[in-house]
Structure 1
Amino acid sequence: MNVTTGEPVRARYPLLSSTGFLWFWSADSLSMVGTYITALALQVLAVQTLRASPIELGVLGAARWLPYLLFGLIAGVLVDRYRRRPVLVVADLVRAGLLALIPLSAAMDVLSMPLLIAVVLVFGTVSLAYDAAHQSFLPTLVPPELLTPANARLEQSSAVAQTCGPVIGGWLIRIVGAPLAIMVDAVSYLISGLIVARLRVAERSGPPEHRNLRRELREGLTWVYGHRMLGPLALASHGWFFGSAMVSTVYVLFVIDELGFDAAALGLTFALGGVGAVAGSSVADRAGRRFGIGPTIIAGRWLTPAGYALIPLAHNGVTGLTLLCTAQFLFGVSIGVDSPLEMGYRQSVTPDRLLGRMNATMRSLNRAAIVIGAPIGGVLAAWLGIRWTVWIAVVGLLIPALALIASGFRHARSGADQSR
């Protein structure tokens, strides 16, 4: 019993009653820590060891997400046809093996930018299947009224991983080097896959009898872009990912090469982003209930350009590092506020038979925006310089935020809104 209110702990925290969710949350949290270590290690490996140019960094960033552009919609159809847990398990195990190839090739002295890009490309293809199943699997673990809190817990774990991962990654890179730091992520995926494999949930046993790929694709696209709330949200999200990809592509190069900070300082800036995400996700549910889903998400979208506007103002020294940390903190808050509300809303208004296609459609087109935005960021950085590239991205990020205000999405108030 709780000594303050007399209420049972599980009554106050109903997610504790879902054993399946707790295991799923644990697996997701573990792999996320490794993911942020790898995100940092890959860029440091490319910049410091392989001496990648801005354009090569753009190609590397695009390779991770290119499969979403090529196969994303088909992945959504397949996830809606079959059980999702086996997809999650196999994807985790395959990704563990792929990441292990990077330190192995480095040890054999055969690692190069083309090989690194190829590994990342295959890794992105497997992650595509995982992501489509991951976002559609959660509604089988918790009831609709707990989707937003459950997504908030997942986002908080991601935020903590974002806080710890880059710091751990920065020190691991300094001590053992970037290739071996990536091996930590490989182990985390292996453990995550074994945890998810032990989950027992009720899912469909097989594909539907009548299948028509074209019709199923069209049905998913019509649901997303024909919905009077999801449509504007999807288009604004694509614009947000485009602008953010431009900044993230050149950020590491700016911090390490132009400003002269080391990997530990770079990891610190990313860690402050994680702190911001924890803060944002901690208030997301309450803010959504008080101010409405739409207005709260829109507020989060404005924080991204506000934070990124600080990056081109930074120079070396303590003041510059402080500006970079503040920029990442504001960016983290924007994600922490936005993500759980958006995901909970999307999951609650979409029927189960369309969850895979809805999630794959939005996620794939978001990643397609990264595929386009990342190389453009690299080309602009080589042509105009990094500071001007970031300013262009900041202006671009203001456009989807303004578009959401002008759309009907500003009236979205709860996940129960099924209006079309």
Structure 2
Amino acid sequence: MNRFWAAVTVSEFGTQVTTLAMPLFVLVTLNGSATDVGLLNAARWAPYLLCGLLAGALIDRWRRLPVLVTADLGRALLLGTAALFVRDLTLLLVIMFLVGLLSLGHDIASQSFLPRLVDRSRLPQANARLAQTGSAAAATGPLVGGGLVGALGAPLSIVLDAVSYLVCGLLLATLKTAEPPAPAKRGTIREGLAWVYGHPMLRPLALNTHAWMIFSAAAGAVYVPFALRVLGLSPFELGATLAAAGVGGVLGGAVSTTVAERLGLGRSAVTARFLPIVAFGLIAVSDGWVMAAAGQFLFWFGISVESPSTIAFRQAVTPDRLQGRMNATIRSLNWGMVTIGAPLGGLLADTAGHRVALGVATAGFALTAVTFACSRFRFASVHGGLPVAAQ
């Protein structure tokens, strides 16, 4: 687990630099617009919508560690090429689609590999540890990224992410975890869909999160152009607001397991879904980096309270032979919603204004929070260290 965690840590820190640098690369280096940033996000996440279900079925037939290594090395090559040689938006979108395709395989394999790496009773703690790592990277990566973009420019900052993927892939290649052989009977995509959308708890969790992701993607696509062009923040100030998001994520991950055990997993997840309403409400009316930072803090605190427990719940109630398809079904459609929300958010910002776009996203967060609170998932709970579905 420690070597796996180290590999994830290196990759997460590099990714957070690119999270800031890539939109700036489009806006500054390519002289793009908010719509272009939305298209960039859509290209990055389109493979989840187009190929996610197939990827899940394939990963359930393969050993998962080689998939992780291949995806990291491939992303290193693609991002390095984009940063150093690409100055055309169309070509950049093609490369980001390929990066997204490799990320799809990596994400599904990673979440499906974890139950083979640790006992199921330790899944909530393991997921919380990984979430805290991601949040710590989010707390420092954008801040460092803002300084790097200011000092080196966006292209060279992206190269650092490429190097982080290379290091991650090499670390994972040294793991000696034994994996069972592929099942003799090959599972189908339909079986994975039936498991997720036929399960009394996974169904409301998946459907509500799909809808939530549309509004999150819209808000995410608008935020960087809003910060730069409406609030007038410098790259370093923008990085500071995103660093506040990381601090919120670290704190949320730190209390996630405790909150789920005391409130009940379902109630803690429902409560966390209400925080984005306040978060992006603050951002929409902000006039400087302080309120924007506060909004980012609350947004990621809520995500990090909910995410480790709900991911552990999914892993714990799903048989090993269905892990890839379960994760692919939920994640591919979740992130596939970015292909809808991100372009719509960017287009709305360019036509009606950035604050209007953020207000619409905030209203969407309210709608999904209320419907989630009314769903059966609010009865999900944790017993004996394992998430279980209430009958």
For normalisation by structure 1, the TM-score amounts to: 0.90
Return the alpha-carbon distance in structure 2 between the equivalents of residues 416 and 284 of structure 1: 13
Return the alpha-carbon distance in structure 1 between the equivalents of residues 199 and 390 of structure 2: 7
Return the alpha-carbon distance in structure 1 between the equivalents of residues 94 and 126 of structure 2: 35
Asked if 1:150 corresponds to 2:126, the answer is yes
Structure 2 match to 1:403:
371
Q: Is residue 379–residue 390 contact of structure 2 (8 Å, CA) maintained in 1?
A: no
Quick one: which of 183, 198, 201 aligns to 1:208?
183
The residue type paired with residue 221 of structure 1 is: L
Structure 1 match to 2:42:
62
Give 1:4-403 correspondences, 5 Å limit: 21-105=1-85, 110-205=86-181, 207-211=182-186, 216-315=188-287, 320-403=288-371
Return the alpha-carbon distance in structure 2 between the equivalents of residues 173 and 251 of structure 1: 18
Percent identity between matched residues is 45
Return the alpha-carbon distance in structure 2 between the equivalents of residues 54 and 188 of structure 1: 28
Deviation (angstroms), 1:208: 3.1
- SS at 2:337 equivalent: helix
Return the alpha-carbon distance in structure 2 between the equivalents of residues 362 and 384 of structure 1: 32
The residue type paired with residue 242 of structure 1 is: I
Cα RMSD over matched residues? 1.2
The residue type paired with residue 65 of structure 1 is: W
Deviation (angstroms), 1:50: 1.0
Stretches of structure 1 that go unaligned for 5 or more consecutive residues are 1-20
The residue type paired with residue 147 of structure 1 is: L
The residue type paired with residue 134 of structure 2 is: S
Return the alpha-carbon distance in structure 2 between the equivalents of residues 288 and 79 of structure 1: 30
Deviation (angstroms), 1:419: 6.1
Q: Is residue 228–residue 419 contact of structure 1 (8 Å, CA) maintained in 2?
A: no
Deviations 1:82-141 (A, max 9, x none): 100000001100111011102321xxxx51211221111110011111111011000011
Deviation (angstroms), 1:312: 1.5
- SS at 2:25 equivalent: helix
- SS at 2:228 equivalent: helix
Q: Is residue 253–residue 305 contact of structure 2 (8 Å, CA) maintained in 1?
A: yes
Return the alpha-carbon distance in structure 1 between the equivalents of residues 274 and 50 of structure 2: 30
The residue type paired with residue 211 of structure 1 is: R
Deviation (angstroms), 1:76: 0.4
Deviation (angstroms), 1:418: 5.0
Return the alpha-carbon distance in structure 1 between the equivalents of residues 166 and 175 of structure 2: 15
- SS at 1:209 equivalent: coil
The residue type paired with residue 410 of structure 1 is: R
- SS at 1:81 equivalent: coil
The residue type paired with residue 301 of structure 2 is: V
**Larger CA Rg, structure 1 vs 2:** 1
The residue type paired with residue 174 of structure 2 is: R
- How many residue pairs align between the two structures? 388
Return the alpha-carbon distance in structure 2 between the equivalents of residues 30 and 57 of structure 1: 26
The residue type paired with residue 284 of structure 2 is: P
Stretches of structure 2 that go unaligned for 5 or more consecutive residues are none
Return the alpha-carbon distance in structure 1 between the equivalents of residues 47 and 176 of structure 2: 30
Return 53-62 or 170-179, whichever deviates more: 53-62
Return the alpha-carbon distance in structure 1 between the equivalents of residues 350 and 84 of structure 2: 32
